[in-house]
Structure 1
């Protein structure tokens, strides 16, 4: 029987993985890690809460733009404050905030690189 335990990694397709990873690292105060393939492509990632959040080079054949899942990050404190912080550093509103059940709200933003990110909180 297949058992999922937790999210281990999330891959986002990006035009410039290094730039995307550095931007998110600056916003979240974490370190960027990177691998460079023999052909020069960069896979860059950050780690937060035990999850690898990776930025993979866009490839129209195998990893087209827009193929990324929407990942929801839990935020500490008030959802509106987190949303305003993200808007202040260059994100735009995509959806919400929405009340999905008592005590749980969600919103989606688009980062400066076109990736839709979900946030959830109070």
Structure 2
């Protein structure tokens, strides 16, 4: 049934600003589309399309999406980098199993996301 994550959609008050922040953190390019004055933005991250869609309180409220966990090489180092870039702590870090940590952060635009990987603090 499911084979892989194809797209992660974030609903944001300012999709372009949100996408540009993520692009700077992930060192990638932003693709923009403007349709009837509404901006849609996309990044390609490790084969996954990360989309930023205008929030709509009726159909797609900001923060109304599931929490997506991104695989990382070193949870502690990546968490520190994201906090320094403007994210805030949400939950964790916790040891999900021996040698594996997970935690949740909130980006500067209110989207909660997770990181998952080894607990090593080395980069």
Q: Same fold (TM over 0.5)?
A: yes
By how many angstroms is 1:103 displaced?
A: 2.1
Unaligned runs of 5+ in 1: none
Q: Could you report, residue by residue, the CA deviation over 1:58-85 in whole angstroms, capped at 9, with x for unpaired residues?
A: 1111111221111100112x21111000
- Residue 59, structure 1, aligned to residue 60, structure 2: no
- Residue 4, structure 1, aligned to residue 6, structure 2: no
Q: Could you report, residue by residue, the CA deviation over 1:18-52 in whole angstroms, capped at 9, with x for unpaired residues?
A: 00000000011000011111x21011011111000
Map 1:18-33 → 2, pairs under 5 A: 18-33=16-31
| Secondary structure, aligned partner of 1:94 | strand
Counterpart of 2:67 (choices 60, 66, 70) is: 70
Q: Distance in 1 between matches of 2:72 and 2:98?
A: 16
| Secondary structure, aligned partner of 2:2 | coil
The residue aligned with 1:48 is 45
Counterpart of 2:78 (choices 75, 82, 89) is: 82
Cα root mean square deviation, aligned: 0.8
Deviating above 2 A after TM superposition, structure 1's stretches of 4 or more consecutive aligned residues are: none
TM-score normalized by structure 1?
Answer: 0.94
Q: How many residues align?
A: 118
Q: Distance in 2 between matches of 1:31 and 1:66?
A: 23
- Residue 111, structure 1, aligned to residue 107, structure 2: yes
